[in-house]
Chain A
Amino acid sequence: NAGVTQTPKFRILKIGQSMTLQCTQDMNHNYMYWYRQDPGMGLKLIYYSVGAGITDKGEVPNGYNVSRSTTEDFPLRLELAAPSQTSVYFCASMGNSPLHFGNGTRLTVT
């Protein structure tokens, strides 16, 4: 049972490049979330999904997009990377259980 798996673990992007952060969970959870973590700022919600085909914006959605075509996968897309998107990104899922996080993707935009 792998839980929530995020790939890649680390990535360096140049300004203006695009990339997709992958997230998959094997717990059959309906709810999935993307957070970003910045020093001294806690975790800010980017996007979330309550089930396949349904997504909604969180607190800081600008510059990001998501899709939820299956229960298991919830990828996060950065279209035009900016230095302000340098952060650690966490994917999480929830069923009838507490929020369960992956181990994060550390992204640097230079």
Chain B
Amino acid sequence: QQQVKQSPQSLIVQKGGISIINCAYENTAFDYFPWYQQFPGKGPALLIAIRPDVSEKKEGRFTISFNKSAKQFSLHIMDSQPGDSATYFCAASRREYGNKLVFGAGTILRVKS
């Protein structure tokens, strides 16, 4: 059972453009939604996270938008740079610490210079 569905599978964006990755979840008990960034040969690393009591969180060029009623959340990368080229995973869990994260399938982002 895929509890977190992520799209698109891959994405090519021009330098300076906006990258948008979407995720949808099924379990309404989830209350912590992180995004992880993974470079080749490395483990995933936390990029940004949101809790459902807010609809948007911004950190630099990265923004999470959250729609609780639709059970969807998305990652927006503004002014995308070649250094942003990586695989991005959305995830969800029932609480922030000490619980099991369920991951989406991942999106391979390539930013063309």
Contacts of A74 in B (CB 8 A): none
Contact of A42 with B42 in the complex, beta carbons under 8 Å: no
B46 contacts the other chain (CB 8 A) = yes
Contact of B100 with A50 in the complex, beta carbons under 8 Å: no
Among A43, A44, A48, contact of B44 (Cβ-Cβ < 8 Å): A43
Q: How many A-B residue pairs have CB under 8 A?
A: 52
A53 contacts the other chain (CB 8 A) = no
Name A30-58 residues within 8 Å CB distance of B: 30-31, 33, 35, 40-45, 48, 50, 58
Contact of A42 with B104 in the complex, beta carbons under 8 Å: yes
CB distance from A60 to the nearest CB of B (A): 12
The B contact surface, by secondary structure, is loop
Choose the segment among A12-20, A78-86, A88-96 that binds chain B (4+ C-beta atoms closer than 8 Å).
Answer: A88-96
B80 contacts the other chain (CB 8 A) = no
Given contacts A101-B44, A103-B42, contact A43 B103 (CB under 8 A): yes
Among B9, B44, B96, B98, contact of A40 (Cβ-Cβ < 8 Å): B9
Measured CB to CB, the residues of B under 8 A from A are 4, 6, 9, 34, 41-46, 49, 89, 96-98, 100-106
